[in-house]
Amino acid sequence: MQQLTGLDAAFLAMETRTTYGHIGSVIVLDAANAKERLTLDRLIEHTESRLHLLPPYRRRLLRVPLDLDQPYWIDDADFDIEFHVRELALPKPGNDAQLADQVARLHARPLDRSRPLWETYLIHGLSGGRLAVYTKIHHAAIDGVSGNEILTALLDVSPDGRDVGEPGEWSPGHRPSTAGLLARSALSLSAQPVRAIRFAGALVKSLPTLATAPGRPRVPVIDRFVLDQVAPREGSEVLQRTGLRAPKTPFNRPITPHRRWGFASVSLDDVRTIRKAFPGMTVNDVAMAMCAGALRRYLIDHDALPDEPLVSAVPVSVRSEEESAALGNRVSMMFASLPTTEPDPLKRLFATHESMRGAKEQHQALPADLLSDVTQFAMPAVAARAAQLAARLRIVERVNPFNLIISNVPGPNVKLYLAGTPLLATYPVSAITDGQALNITLLGYLGQLHFGLLACREVVPDVDDLVGYLVDELETLVALSTESSQSSTSAAVQSGASS
């Protein structure tokens, strides 16, 4: 039995009729070169052989009476793997657009909270001799990094598999009594005042550093309660923001239960070409600049480009080395301005670099466990009601602290196999909420960056346009980087000849 943290439980509390707390991934497989044909039975057998490496797969939720404390993960005595692993087939021709539509429909279905919170679908009929496996699991159980740990348990670096040890006999743990749960809750609640004092002390200590961080983009709320009172500062005209809200965009509206999903892969070598052409640039800077350019073009198409830069929330892992294999959520949030007001692609790239540098400095000034500590104080009974009230009153849309979430999840750079079938690509399928109808997540694998864009079907029906603009933006930056490198080389040659 393991208790959820406040942050884990927050992903349960956020769920409403239109908002779901699960995240997912789609792995595309090369079925034509599989060691053994991947069938539903084969996938079930493979998954079952590794359940001892996948603790969340056999755990379900147990609520504390009256929701007085965070719930617990307990072993599911009635675990049935055939309920969780399923199959379906795409109609001909089985193209990527059909795969995206099917994944969007599957992702728009909430998970059954009476069972372990995950599902896997083997998808046949994909063109080009390919298969796809879509998996969704609740965010309460994993974050991006621990999600990779789940994939690591299921995947191998050889088509012959590996020795994962004997699973042994599994027997579900003892379910605690109601009296026992209430006693645990009383003990936990008694420690809340001490936690609050420690949290406040750590936050106060960080304010001077936060207020004076050079290059820090102005961020709603933080500027109001920190900068204006501690140390007002001047910043770049491109990045500086005023006011309490991110600018209004079509993305910041209430969402429906329906989803759109788009995906694309780009060459990591192309991204590195840009990075090498401009010293100090990072792969993440280039990826964020691609997003800024694509969003700018999309908003211009819809006559909705704001006069101020968009604000992106960027999840950041705060796992220590000791926590690297732990499940659950160990994440914080960083805020960065996206220079969508800048029409020049190269200037936009440099402005993105400066924005990310300032955002990192600001984030480092805050306690690493800030988000975890804040959510730890809310009882589930209160948090769930607050989430429902916020949705009803459209609080996030009205406050609008940021425009969208952009997440970069590190991935493996070695060839992987699922049950002997080569893995071609892996695409993220994240989550959206009311007031945040678009999410962009990318994952690196084997020399490519794989983008997955999730959106509300009614708010961003043409998410494929955004996907195409991301690819176009990279091509533009590669061409400009090549020109810059050639100009620098020519100038160096001429300088050497003249001397």
Q: Which residues are catalytic?
A: 139
Pair 107, 118: CB distance under 8 Å: no
Structure tokens at 395: 């609080």
Q: What are phi and psi of 136, to 5 degrees?
A: -125, 145
Pair 142, 328: CB distance under 8 Å: yes
Find all residues with CB under 8 Å of 286, minimum gap 6, and list them.
271, 274, 275, 349, 474, 477
Q: What is the 3-state secondary structure (H, E, C) of 124-159?
A: EEECCCEEEEEEEEECCCECHHHHHHHHHHHCECCC
- Nearest CA to 12 out of 387, 373, 377, 313 is that of 387
What whole-number distance in Å separates Cα of residue 403 and Cα of residue 256? 17
Residue 241, SS3 per DSSP: coil
Structure tokens at 196: 């609050």
In single-letter form, the type of residue at position 2 comes to Q
- Nearest CA to 346 out of 292, 395, 299 is that of 292
What whole-number distance in Å separates Cα of residue 182 and Cα of residue 471? 54
**Dihedral of CA 128/131/133/134: which sign?**
positive
